[in-house]
Amino acid sequence: MEKWSLMALTVLLALTVRWAVSLGSYSGAGKPPMYGDYEAQRHWQEITYNLPIRQWYFNTSDNNLQYWGLDYPPLTAYHSFVCAYIAKLINPDWVALHTSRGYESQPHKLFMRTTVFVADLLVYIPAVILYCFSLKETSAKKKVSSALCILLYPGLILIDHGHFQYNSVSLGLALWAVLCLSHDWDLLGSVAFCLALNYKQMELYHSLPFFCYLLGKCFKKGLKGKGLVLLAKLAGTVLVSFAACWLPFGTDVEQIMQVLRRLFPIDRGLFEDKVANIWCSLSVLIKIKNVISPRTQLKLSFAVTFLSLLPACIKLTVQPSLRGFKFALVSCALSFFLFSFQVHEKSILLVSVPVCLIINEIPFMATWFLLVSTFSLLPLLLKDELLLPYAATTPAFLAACLASFSILEKTSAEDLQLKAFSLSLKGYVSWFKSFPRIVRGLAYLLWKKYPQAPLPPWQLREDGKGLWSRNWKDIGGEHSSVSTLQQFLIKQQNFHLFLRI
């Protein structure tokens, strides 16, 4: 009984924090004409309620796709319709076609915040509680402590209840899938993950671990016996789940193709805003978006992403285990976040929630990662005027982790399973020393091949000993009219020093 009382207090605290954050600002508040994600979600309610299903994803006179066109899978659209139906009963002006664009009021904000609150309470929070109770070889207090830390993770709270989105629905469904697989309810787990994927396409970040884990179980049972039967059941379950979600669109091939085009646009670029991944980091040195076509960017990102997640997927298929499955969720989601195409800063949540699942096993590293992942959202939070909620929820989360786990114990390289990794790096020390020269050499060759590319953010030092960095905004003077790197180097008359450190 004490266990359930502690869990009830944990849930009450988590709900209180969420409601407190929801009192603050949101994405695009008072910023016409496009506003932000808050308006996007409201607009989807307007569209799904007032237009027939066949027009939801098409550009029409009543549905301008350039103004927050629907670009999430069918389950999100159905959810928007349900919210719109309730909104219509309260105040028809909230979802009136055309005239409700940019609608902002305190009652409407309360309604929208409540929809996120209820979705969290119905989908995400129960999944977290049951997952923590299902942890084996863990005391009751540790289970409650794990639930407290997961529910207080500030990244998800700030994005859903501050910035404004419904990430807790897709992530909650994915957690339900993990919970089902941990009890060997493979078919139910498949249904739950199909629902997550049909709510938000970014759940593809987690798709390969689910596929490889279940395929590995089939191999383990033997493909000539029980394994083949399980494989057939899983395939049938997935097909039926997708068919049920896509049934209103399945009567017309053009409808399906249009939905897919909306879900996977390739003209929006490699990344958006200030996302903490490889491509955004490299853009400081090489403006990849300017020198490589979007289709080439897509192919490059796909190849690098596939190669980076391949080892974890192979190991999980050959040696399927629940522990390996949870770590593969982290590894593969991180590979997608770092290397895949069209990454948003909010996509870090798809890595962070799987990390929450292993916080009981590696509390120090998990806590550290979750704090860093929240910090990576800071540019977006500053834009939405959510610095105060960030400053309040982050220390609260850290305090909960410090009180729940001995995160400062067993932090040596050997205990963190990093000893072998650190030893393997010693053989590459000499290579790392020459890394800057290699990067600059590649940069020179790249701008040599693309002479119309913009200048890099550095120039040759006057003493001829190397390079010094400069900000793009500081480019001026005699170099302000230089359009290519080649012309710039020729002007300096010592471009051979470009490769020197």
Residue with tokens 């990244």: 155
Q: What pLDDT digit, counting tens, does each position of 111-167 carry?
A: 999 999 999 999 999 999 999 999 987 788 889 999 999 999 999 999 999 999 999
pLDDT recorded at residue 224: 83
198 vs 411 pLDDT, higher one: 198
376-382: average pLDDT: 94
Rg (CA), the chain: 25
pTM for the model stands at: 0.83
* Average pLDDT over every residue of 91-106: 95
The sign of the CA dihedral 340, 346, 352, 354 is: negative
Q: What are phi and psi of 277, to 5 degrees?
A: -120, 180
* Span between the terminal Cα atoms of the chain, in Å: 67
C-beta separation of 117 from 342 below 8 A: no
Structure token pair of residue 224: 């000539």
What is the three-class DSSP state of 171? helix
Q: Which residues of 197-214 are buried (b: 16+ CB within 10 A; e: fewer)?
A: bbbbbbbbbbbbbbbbbb
Domain locations along the chain: 163-404, 434-499
> How much of the chain exceeds pLDDT 70, in percent?
81
Cα–Cα distance between 358 and 356 in angstroms, integer?
Answer: 5
For residue 422, the Cα-to-chain-centroid distance in whole angstroms is 28
Average pLDDT of the residues in 338-354: 93
Q: Is the peptide bond before 320 cis (omega within 30 degrees of 0)?
A: no
Mean pLDDT of 480-486: 43
**Cβ 194 vs Cβ 204: under 8 Å:** no
Tell me the pLDDT tens digit for each residue of 308-323: 999 999 999 999 999 9
To the nearest 10°, report the CA torsion of 332, 338, 342, 343.
90
| % of the chain surpassing 90 pLDDT | 66
| Per-chain mean pLDDT for the chain | 86
Q: Which pLDDT score, from 0 to 100, does residue 469 have?
A: 46
Nearest to 72, CA basis, from 101, 44, 52, 53: 44
User: Is the separation of the CB atoms in 457 and 469 below 8 Å?
Assistant: yes
